[in-house]
Amino acid sequence: MGDFFNSVLRPIELLVAWIMYGFHEVFTTLGLDPASGLAWGLSIIGLVIVMRAAMIPLFVKQINASRKMQLIQPELQKIQKKYKGKTDPESRQAMTQETMALYKKEGTNPFSSCLPILVQSPFFFGLFRVLNGLDEIGAGKQEAIGPITREVAGQAEQATIFGAQLSDTFLGANNPATYIVTVVLIILMSLTTFLTQRQLMTKNMPASALDNPFAKQQKLIMYVMPIVFAVSGINFPIGVLLYWFTTNVWSMVQQFYVIRNRPAPGSAAEKAYHERLARRGKPIPGEAERKAAEAKAAEEAAAGQGQRVQPKGKKRAKKK
């Protein structure tokens, strides 16, 4: 198992090493001291930017999907209405199942899929291993990882930000600067994740989604999360925490952009967005379709078919 992990992670370690080394070369050329923590810290931030920028196409795809979400809103609301007041886990499961079946039927999906997390996690481990290995490589006990030779590793290992070495961990250090920098980074990481989640919950969730047990569980998790960060953070090198924090900042900004420009239907953010559009005299997206649908429903009601059409298969539609 260990060998398997090594052979899978090796190419990723190499890629991480090359990206970091490349950024380090650039910053050195720009005049930063090659042995400084600033040059190496910025290289880690550069690694985050490369990785997240590579995933922007996925992000754009998700944004475009939100337009289609707007169109299936009436059907979603029908499902939500059907389950109104039903909070037992079985009903919630049935509701999720119906909602997901609807997404599939309509060919749209608000979720980004599990692939991005799966792709990112080896890079996280790769960086962890590169940073963790710096002292061993510098001491010649472990072989070089691509461009991170014994000399480079020794230099990076000695690099400090605010007096803390990038390869230091809270548990492995006896240096007050490392303790302080770790704690500050853990607080910043918790804060960014917390704000990201809170922004999502308070601004970008329809009111109907907020009173279900899952949202309550999510809330609880939101408060437990800093503890998780603290426990794992004291085991990680400062460089990994820096990477993690930068990723969080990126996610936060990206989400801020989405919520501002493509808010979820029925959410507080959507209301604010429509108000902003109205103030500028721009058309509200989906409004024309909604009005047309309302007019059609009124027409049908007037024609004496008070029965609203439920989302269902043709077979069921026939029996009545």
Partner 1 sequence: MTLGQVAAQPLVWVVRAYQLLISPMTPATCRYFPSCSAYAVTALRRHGLFRGTWLTLRRLGRCHPWTAGGVDHVPPLPGHPDDGELIARHIPPTPSEPASQQSTSAQT
Contact positions toward partner 1, by CB under 8 A?
58, 61-62, 82-83, 86, 90-91, 93-94, 96-101, 103-105, 107-109, 111-118, 193, 196-197, 200, 218, 221-222, 224-225, 228-229, 232, 255, 307, 310, 313, 316
User: Tokens 């001491």 — which residue?
Assistant: 139
Could you tell me the smallest distance in angstroms from the CB atom of residue 168 to partner 1? 23
One DSSP character per residue, the chain reads -HHHHHHHHHHHHHHHHHHHHHHHHHHHHTT--TTSHHHHHHHHHHHHHHHHHHTHHHHHHHHHHHHHHHHTHHHHHHHHHHTTT--SHHHHHHHHHHHHHHHHHHT--SS--SHHHHHHHHHHHHHHHHHHHHHHHHTTSS--BTTB-HHHHHHHHH-EETTEETT-BTTT---HHHHHHHHHHHHHHHHHHHHHHHHHHHHSS-HHHHTSHHHHHHHHHHHHHHHHHHHHHTTSBHHHHHHHHHHHHHHHHHHHHHHHHSPPTTSHHHHHHHHHHHHTTPPPTTHHHHHHHHHHHHHHHHTT--PPPPS--HHHHH--
Comparing CB distances to partner 1, the nearer of 99 and 208 is: 99
In angstroms, what is the minimal distance from the CB of 247 to partner 1?
10
105 vs 141, beta carbon nearer partner 1: 105
CB of 213 to partner 1, least distance (A): 15
| Residue 77 or 142 having the CB closest to partner 1 | 77
Which is closer to partner 1, CB of 142 or CB of 197? 197
Going by C-beta distance under 8 Å and a sequence separation of 6 or more, which residues neighbour residue 218?
Answer: 197, 201
Alpha-carbon span 300 to 304, nearest angstrom: 7
Q: Which is nearer to partner 1, 49 or 58 (CB)?
A: 58
Nearer to partner 1, 141 or 308 (CB): 308
CB of 295 to partner 1, least distance (A): 23
Shortest reach from residue 200's CB to partner 1, in Å: 6
Based on CB atoms, which residue is closest to partner 1, 165 or 196? Answer: 196
In whole angstroms, the minimum distance from the beta carbon of 49 to partner 1 comes to: 19
- Beta carbon of residue 71, minimum distance to partner 1 (angstroms, whole number): 15
Closest to partner 1 by CB, 280 vs 312, is 312
CB of 83 to partner 1, least distance (A): 7
Q: How far is it, in rounded angstroms, from Cα 43 to Cα 33? A: 13
